[in-house]
Amino acid sequence: DMGGHDTYMHKEISEQADAVDRVLRGRIDDRFATVHLGGLNLDAREARGVRRIKILGCGTSYHAGQIGAQLIEELARIPADAEPASEFRYRNPVVDPDTLYVAVSQSGETYDVLAAVQELKRKGARVLGVVNVVGSAIAREADGGTYVHAGPEVCVVSTKCFTNTVVAFALLALHLGRIRDLSVADGKRIIDGLRRLPAQISEILANEDEIKKMAAEYADAKSMMFIGRVRGFPVAREAALKLKEVSYIHAEAYPASELKHGPLALIEPAMPTVAIVPDDDLLEKNRAALEEIKARSGRILAVAHQVQEKADHTIVVPKNENELDPILMGIPLQLFAYHTALAMGRDIDKPRNLAKSVTVE
């Protein structure tokens, strides 16, 4: 049942305020400025012993894990990184007993992720799951974890589950942070930010008509560049993946800082750029990248907290805490991909060559 929407993708994008509300519900502990995640199976002493966190997933879940790794480093100061599960399992990785492994999956059935979890467990590692589908293979195989509570996702391309997965990582990061060195004041600041998310998501979604008009401006592109820096980079990667999957337009994501090391050669009017420009300590750096693109006559669509003079168009999104901004900045670009694909007459819920869960090698 699409509940009045023409596609599941549109329905699922539209459900995100409620979905985020659901992943937060019942978990916030205001007294200790932390959150409780029931099924983690990791007591405070064990959590303090974790020296490193390795996050494994595929596709959109991998991108959510990249944001998750940054949240964990920022809030809990535990070294963390994300890697595609498929790469990890074939490179004979060093499995370290002080590392906590986190497997991320919407379906909980992705074979590459499941195989990585099984290999890790065979070697005695502790593996948590950040999974959407309750009782799925990865959820059962993991030692503990947290559900993402996005609700059923039918469209082959993942949208609401991406957002909820990142929020679930913010909760995990806050939890780990408050067991370690994150202050009460910072814990409260993040909790207040999390509570603002659902209303801010609704605010972004209310701009759909404007985003649709902008999508029409770029629909002639054969290829698009997506750039962001640090917190903005996984957002750029995910937005590029969405555009590729549903519209079949080639899209390439780069850290904004790497532009001058090569991809700037591609910039010309026929190669528009989507730039993630949060109002944080890297704002001036990001603005400089926009200037470099403009100097080569590149068209620019910015997703930012204020109108960017160098951009041809800006989608203005509400500001949250710096750490949580990536959660919001990807949402207008889901609509951007959707409306681009719609205008091109694509089969939005079932893009060619793709399946909802990849249960084969």
Q: Which residue is nearest to ligand F6R (CB)?
A: 59
DSSP 142: S
Q: Which is nearer to ligand F6R, 19 or 259 (CB)?
A: 19
Residue selected from 59, 129, 232, 272 as contacting ligand F6R according to rule CB under 6 A: 59
Q: How far is CA 250 from CA 229, 243, 285, 286, 335, in A?
A: 21, 8, 26, 23, 17
- The SS3 call for residue 301 is strand
Q: Is 286 in the site for ligand F6R (CB under 6 A)?
A: no
Neighbours of 74 (CB within 10 A): 19
Q: Is 107 in the site for ligand F6R (CB under 6 A)?
A: yes
Structure tokens at 2: 């699409």
Q: In whole angstroms, how close is the CB of 291 to ligand F6R at the nearest point?
A: 32
Token look-up 């593996």 returns: 127
Q: In whole angstroms, how close is the CB of 81 to ligand F6R at the nearest point?
A: 18
Token look-up 């909790």 returns: 191
Q: Is 113 in the site for ligand F6R (CB under 6 A)?
A: yes
For the question of residue 260 being annotated catalytic, the response is: no
Residue selected from 56, 71, 157, 170 as contacting ligand F6R according to rule CB under 6 A: 157
Q: By rule CB under 6 A, what count of residues binds ligand F6R?
A: 15
Q: Is 207 in the site for ligand F6R (CB under 6 A)?
A: no
92: which residues sit within 8 A by CB, 6+ positions away? none
Contact 260, 288 (CB under 8 A): no
DSSP count for the chain of H helices, then E strands: 14, 12
Q: Which is nearer to ligand F6R, 117 or 290 (CB)?
A: 117
Q: Which is nearer to ligand F6R, 237 or 310 (CB)?
A: 237
Residue selected from 50, 58, 251, 301 as contacting ligand F6R according to rule CB under 6 A: 58
Q: Is 116 in the site for ligand F6R (CB under 6 A)?
A: no
Residue selected from 118, 202, 322, 357 as contacting ligand F6R according to rule CB under 6 A: 357
Q: Is 86 in the site for ligand F6R (CB under 6 A)?
A: no
Residue selected from 106, 273, 308, 314 as contacting ligand F6R according to rule CB under 6 A: 106
Q: Which is nearer to ligand F6R, 58 or 342 (CB)?
A: 58
Q: Is 358 in the site for ligand F6R (CB under 6 A)?
A: yes
Q: Is 340 in the site for ligand F6R (CB under 6 A)?
A: no
Structure tokens at 238: 């995910």
Q: Is 158 in the site for ligand F6R (CB under 6 A)?
A: yes
Contact 34, 174 (CB under 8 A): yes
Q: In whole angstroms, how close is the CB of 342 to ligand F6R at the nearest point?
A: 16
Q: Is 143 in the site for ligand F6R (CB under 6 A)?
A: no
Q: Which of 212, 294, 350, 356 is catalytic?
A: 356
- Give the sheet arrangement for strand 52-57, strand by strand: 80-84, 52-57, 99-105, 126-131, 144-147
Beta pairing class for 52-57 and 80-84: parallel
- Among residues 223, 246, 209, 270, the alpha carbon closest in space to that of 345 is found at 246
- Among residues 335, 340, 322, the alpha carbon closest in space to that of 203 is found at 335
330: which residues sit within 8 A by CB, 6+ positions away? 162, 163, 235, 238, 239
Structure tokens at 84: 């595609």
Q: In whole angstroms, how close is the CB of 316 to ligand F6R at the nearest point?
A: 25
What's at 288, amino acid-wise? A
Residue selected from 16, 34, 60, 99 as contacting ligand F6R according to rule CB under 6 A: 60
Q: Is 245 in the site for ligand F6R (CB under 6 A)?
A: yes
Return residues touching ligand F6R (CB under 6 A): 58-61, 105-107, 110, 113, 156-158, 245, 357-358
Residues annotated as part of the active site: 356
